[in-house]
Structure 1
Amino acid sequence: MSKQSNGSNVDVVRACMESYIAQDRAAADRLIAEDFVFTSPQDDRIHRAAFFERCFPTADRLRSPQIIEAVPASGDGVFIAYEYELENGERYRNVELSTVRDGRLTETQVFFGGRVHGP
């Protein structure tokens, strides 16, 4: 396990998500490790530079992104669930499993959820 407690790891993951939503690259740079790996249904274990090039700039297509929950997982992991609305009004929820070591994200795996129906 890392030097940080899992509670602190939750804070790191929340802060990283907030930096994405705000498009605060300087904050994200401090929170994401040099050896960071990102995986989603659209990205297969891409490295940090590719993440910042392809994924980080996409927050502008989201309207009202909101963190629903962030909780410790086993080891250095943190699960975070969030909901967002696209510009066309459709709402979606996703879950991510991130690994934090020494106060920085080293890996994130995104699991796309389905469209949210109803209020």
Structure 2
Amino acid sequence: MSSLETVRCDTVRRLFTAYVAQHPDTVAPMLAPDFTFSSPRDDHIDRQRYFEHCWPKEKVFRDIHIEHLVPDGDDVIVSYRAEKMDGNSFRNVELIRFAGDRIAEVNVYFGRNV
């Protein structure tokens, strides 16, 4: 793995850690100015809408366990199991595209409840 791929994988780990801890201020500098986020519920929303719409206002997640983290060129593919505070959990896959060392785009593919 190249040093840039290592940096990108570390950034993805920090992104998920900040999400669980509810620290959007930690994530903002990780994102490119023209960052977009897409999921089955969101279509290329910008960074402002991402923080307003996708970051929980109250603690929802107990933990997120990264199961696969694969760098591929400008992309990092991550699969994870998210444990919610209510005891439920689910798996998702995300394709995270980078511009240099900053996250330019996140595409979330919803998985199933486990």
Same fold by TM-score greater than 0.5: yes
Q: Does 1:36 align with 2:49?
A: no
Change (3 A) 1:67 1:84: same
Q: Residue 92 of structure 2: which of 91, 94, 103 is its match?
A: 94
* Alpha-carbon distance between aligned partners in 2 of 1:40 and 1:86, rounded to the nearest angstrom: 19
- The number of equivalent residue pairs is 112
For the 8 Å contact 1:12–1:100, the answer to whether it is kept is no
Change (3 A) 1:77 1:94: same
TM-score by length of structure 1 reads 0.84
Higher relative contact order (CA 8 A, sep 6+): 1
Q: Does 1:115 align with 2:74?
A: no
* Alpha-carbon distance between aligned partners in 2 of 1:64 and 1:103, rounded to the nearest angstrom: 25
* Alpha-carbon distance between aligned partners in 1 of 2:56 and 2:86, rounded to the nearest angstrom: 18
For the 8 Å contact 1:20–1:59, the answer to whether it is kept is no
Change (3 A) 1:105 1:58: farther
* Alpha-carbon distance between aligned partners in 2 of 1:79 and 1:60, rounded to the nearest angstrom: 25
TM-score by length of structure 2 reads 0.87
Equivalence map 1:1-119=2 (5 Å): 5-57=4-56, 60-73=59-72, 75-116=73-114
Q: Which amino acid aligns with 1:88?
A: D
Give me the CA root mean square deviation: 1.7
Change (3 A) 1:59 1:67: farther
Deviation, structure 1 residue 23: 1.3
Q: Which amino acid aligns with 1:87?
A: M
> Which sections of structure 1, spanning at least 5 residues, go unmatched?
none
